[in-house]
């Protein structure tokens, strides 16, 4: 077996043999460190297949600092053709897709080397996978990795450099043109695809065929093992069937014996049943005689009971007659009193109808209401300011909301942009509505929060908290105008408190009878919730 895992080396046979032989002097010159290449180029290794971008290829074994060797525009060599005289030998490209096993191995190597690159070193198509683990890169970025390795020579050379650091023995043997005999063919083919030494296309194709042949052999072995296993199972099942049949025959014989015994017991039981039926007939005759005697005794007892019930009925009638006589003597006076009371009630009802008197609970004016005196006044939202409290004291808002049927109207964005303008609008709304829900639960007042929705294309998806009414202004209308309409919609005399730092809004609602307060006052009150 040779050093290619049991397959002929590219330089020994195949279409690219001539190209490989032509590349040996170049490798030897590169190894000696400075021998000039034909055409005046610096130290370099064998030239791989021409890339679409015509990027100069670098020898895997060349010394650092050597200039890249350009292909010189030479066309790809046909199978079996040797290198063109006076030009670098060009390896033929793959004439078929990468074998699946080789492709998977190449992608796995690239995914492992992926993490050692900086973000700018990665191709643009692979940057979205920069933070993936190697296993996730193999799973989700396999296609992108394969495409980048094929179309981006610079990226492929970087991956090849990582491979040289990780597997120096394998890469060194490939650079020398003698793959290790004990190496896995797929590893050799994947390294050859990345390093692109002389005859790499042949190595890849040979590895694919070897992998397919090994897979077929494994499948044949697995099929043979499965066939042996199935035969063993069939033999075991046949033995088990024979054992079951023997056991079933024994059980059938035992059942037959049990059946004979049961037949004998059945005949004996039949005789016992006949004797029992004869005894039952005798007992039935005795029972009939006993029932007849009991019927006669029951008839005599019922006759005695009827006589006793007749006597009891006569006694109860006598007692009821005595009670009726007592009730009649007492009821005469009750009837007289009831007739007198009904007469008085009927007379009073007739007098009320004649005078057309209203019911007592509907009287509009009571006698005490006719006395001239000064009645105490009631507090309004404007009178709360006389309590000597600052305009920014949270206790002032508590007093306003404690008024009967108070309605708190909040200019939403005016408050949130005063208190926490750095938050996004959605978080500003959620934070304000959460505080207003707690305030509504504590005070029991009606709370309405108004947001400016004039620039919205569609309604905002929002679940208002319990106890808080959330409104957005319509297209062409500002939140200030919506607040003024809310104030005008309330009946005169209701206590309305409007929270806004806008001077124009405060003056407008004050003219409509509402009590304006600053946004800072509400923010301080919500800070205590």
- DSSP-derived 3-state class of residue 120: coil
pLDDT grade for 115, boundaries at 50, 70 and 90: confident
Q: Does residue 443 contact residue 398 with C-beta atoms inside 8 Å?
A: yes
- DSSP secondary structure, 449-504, as one string: EEE--TT-SS-----PPTTEEEEEPPTT--HHHHHHHHHHHSPTT--EEEE-S-HH
Q: Does residue 411 contact residue 498 with C-beta atoms inside 8 Å?
A: yes
- CATH 3.40.50 spans which residues of the chain? 369-374+384-527
Q: Does residue 92 contact residue 80 with C-beta atoms inside 8 Å?
A: no
Cα 288 to Cα 296: distance, rounded to the nearest angstrom: 13
Q: Which listed CATH number (3.40.50, 1.10.287, 3.30.1370, 1.20.1630) goes with 369-374+384-527?
A: 3.40.50
Cα 486 to Cα 505: distance, rounded to the nearest angstrom: 12
What rounded mean pLDDT belongs to the chain? Answer: 74
DSSP lists the bridge partners of residue 446 as 407
- What average pLDDT does the segment 166-185 reach? 76
pLDDT attached to residue 126? 82
pLDDT grade for 62, boundaries at 50, 70 and 90: very low
Cα 503 to Cα 507: distance, rounded to the nearest angstrom: 6
- What average pLDDT does the segment 414-428 reach? 92
pLDDT attached to residue 529? 63
Cα 56 to Cα 68: distance, rounded to the nearest angstrom: 5
pLDDT grade for 30, boundaries at 50, 70 and 90: very low
- Residue pointed to by tokens 């190496």: 183
CA torsion, points 292, 297, 298, 301, in degrees to nearest 10?
Answer: 170
Angle at 117 between CA 111 and CA 122, to 5 degrees: 80
Cα 416 to Cα 479: distance, rounded to the nearest angstrom: 14
Tokens read off for 291: 């029932």
pLDDT surpassing 70 at residue 38: no
Say how many Å lie between the first and final Cα of the chain, rounded: 85
pLDDT attached to residue 128? 85
pLDDT in tens, 333-370: 676 677 678 778 877 887 778 777 766 555 555 555 55
pLDDT surpassing 60 at residue 88: no
Top pLDDT among 382 and 252 is at 252
Q: Where are the beta strands (DSSP E) in 184-242?
A: none
Q: Is 199 exposed, middle or buried (0-12, 13-18, 19+ CB in 10 A)?
A: buried
pLDDT attached to residue 356? 74
């Amino acid at each position: 077996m040779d050093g290619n895992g049991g397959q002929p080396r590219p330089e020994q046979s195949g279409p690219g043999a001539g190209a490989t032989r032509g590349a040996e002097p170049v490798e030897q010159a590169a190894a000696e460190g400075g021998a000039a290449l034909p055409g005046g180029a610096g130290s370099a290794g064998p030239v791989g297949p021409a890339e679409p971008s015509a990027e100069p290829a670098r020898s895997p074994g060349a010394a650092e600092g050597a200039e890249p060797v350009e292909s010189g525009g030479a066309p790809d060599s046909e199978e079996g053709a040797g290198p063109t005289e006076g030009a670098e030998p060009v390896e033929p490209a793959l004439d078929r897709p990468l074998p699946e096993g080789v492709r998977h191995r190449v992608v796995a190597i690239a995914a492992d080397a992926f993490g050692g690159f900086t973000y700018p070193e990665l191709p643009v198509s692979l940057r979205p996978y920069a933070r993936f683990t190697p296993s996730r890169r193999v799973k989700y970025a396999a296609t992108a990795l394969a495409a980048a390795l094929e179309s981006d020579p610079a990226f492929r050379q970087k991956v090849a450099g990582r491979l040289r650091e990780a597997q120096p023995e394998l890469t060194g043997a490939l650079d020398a043109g003698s793959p290790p005999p004990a190496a896995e063919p797929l590893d050799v083919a994947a390294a050859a695809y990345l390093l692109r030494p002389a005859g790499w296309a042949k190595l890849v194709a040979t590895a694919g065929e070897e992998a397919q042949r090994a897979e077929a052999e494994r499948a044949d072995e697995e099929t043979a093992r499965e066939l042996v296993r199935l035969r063993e199972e069939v033999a075991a099942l046949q033995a088990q069937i024979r054992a079951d049949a023997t056991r079933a025959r024994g059980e059938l014989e035992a059942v037959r014996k049990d059946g004979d015994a049961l037949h004998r017991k059945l005949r004996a039981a039949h005789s016992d049943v006949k004797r029992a039926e004869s005894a039952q007939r005798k007992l039935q005759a005795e029972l009939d005689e006993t029932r007849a005697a009991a019927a006669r005794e029951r008839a005599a007892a019922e006759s005695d009971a009827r006589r006793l019930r007749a006597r009891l009925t006569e006694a109860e009638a006598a007692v009821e007659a005595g009670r009726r006589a007592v009730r009649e003597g007492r009821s005469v006076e009750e009837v007289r009193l009831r007739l007198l009371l009904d007469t008085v009630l009927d007379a009073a009802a007739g007098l009320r109808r004649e005078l057309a008197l209203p019911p007592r609970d509907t009287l509009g004016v009571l006698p005490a209401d006719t006395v001239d005196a000064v009645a105490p006044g009631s507090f309004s939202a404007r009178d709360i300011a006389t309590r000597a409290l600052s305009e920014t004291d949270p206790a002032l808002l508590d007093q306003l909301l404690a008024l009967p049927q108070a309605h708190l109207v909040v200019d939403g964005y005016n408050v949130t942009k005063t208190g926490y303008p750095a938050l996004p609008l959605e978080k500003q709304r959620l934070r304000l509505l959460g505080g207003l829900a707690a305030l509504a639960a504590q005070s029991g007042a009606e709370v309405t929060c108004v947001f400016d929705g004039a620039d919205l294309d569609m309604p905002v998806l929002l679940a208002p908290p319990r106890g808080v009414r959330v409104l957005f202004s319509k297209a062409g209308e500002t939140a200030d105008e919506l607040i003024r309409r809310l104030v005008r919609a309330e009946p005169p005399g209701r206590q309305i408190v409007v929270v806004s730092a806008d001077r124009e809004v405060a003056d407008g609602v004050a003219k409509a009878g509402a009590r304006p307060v600053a946004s800072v006052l509400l923010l301080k009150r919500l800070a205590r919730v």
